[in-house]
Amino acid sequence: MTICSFSLLGHVAGFQQMRQELELLLDLEWHAHVNKRDYQGGWDVLPLRCASEHLNGHAILQGFALYASEGWSNLPQLEQSPALLRFVTALPYQVKSVRLMRLHPGAEIKPHRDHGLCLEEGEARLHLPLQTNELLKFFVNKQQVPMQAGELWYINADQVHQVENKGSESRINLVLDCVVNEELKEQIYAGWNT
């Protein structure tokens, strides 16, 4: 059986409003990614939805799920961003964590795997580029993902993936971890070869 490495799920409505909200969110406190061995340069995170038990906890706990959680809650920064909130709540599958992830110019995320985070295990990592550039390269299983701003992508994070930002502006993706249902599975298979 061939395993899907990545899939274009579609273009996102309300993208320009999300970009405007991003400008306000850039002024908040972002936190360096905790897996320091997995990257060089600047890679930071702004959590928007987290495990419910960390709702009032430190942003590091909010931004990085260290273990499975039963409940997930929106953080104030998502609740105060109506376009982002509309997008997240309109998705027809259970959304677990939501984060903004920024890879600074000249930075790279080294090849790594997020074990078990794939369609076949009932989990899906989705990426929505809000800000990107032509010199940003995202690879999954040694294949370049042709992500453009405003497109929603499934990424098989269980496979080896890496990112290089050789551009002069930061790459900022909205990253969502979701529970796979039949509708999401159909979307992933439909967009697999696009």
77-136 pLDDT tens trace: 999 999 999 999 999 999 999 999 999 999 999 999 999 999 999 999 999 999 999 999
The answer to the question of residue 1 being in a domain is no
Q: Structural domain tally of the chain? A: 1
- Both tokens assigned to 37: 């061995």
Angle, CA 31 vertex, CA 29 and CA 34 arms, to 5°: 170
Predicted local confidence at residue 74, as pLDDT: 96
Distance spanning both ends of the chain, measured CA to CA: 19
CATH code of the domain covering residue 118: 2.60.120.330
Average of per-residue pLDDT values in the chain? 92
Q: Sorting pLDDT into bands at 50, 70 and 90, what band is 185? A: very high
Q: Return the axis-axis angle of helices 82-90 and 15-25, rounded to nearest 10°.
A: 130
The answer to the question of residue 120 being in a domain is yes
What mean pLDDT comes out for the span 140-165? Answer: 97
The answer to the question of residue 37 being in a domain is yes
Residue 161 has pLDDT above 90, yes or no: yes
Domain limits for position 161: 6-191
Strands 151-155 and 6-11: antiparallel
Residue 151 has pLDDT above 80, yes or no: yes
Predicted local confidence at residue 193, as pLDDT: 63
- Polymer length of the chain: 194
163-180 pLDDT tens trace: 999 999 999 999 999 999
Q: Is the pTM of this model over 0.85?
A: yes
The answer to the question of residue 172 being in a domain is yes
Helix, strand, or coil (residue 160): coil
Predicted local confidence at residue 93, as pLDDT: 95
109 touches 38 (CB < 8 A): yes
25-78 pLDDT tens trace: 999 999 988 777 889 999 999 999 998 888 777 676 667 665 667 789 999 999
Predicted local confidence at residue 194, as pLDDT: 47
Rounded to whole angstroms, the Cα distance separating 59 from 43 reads 15
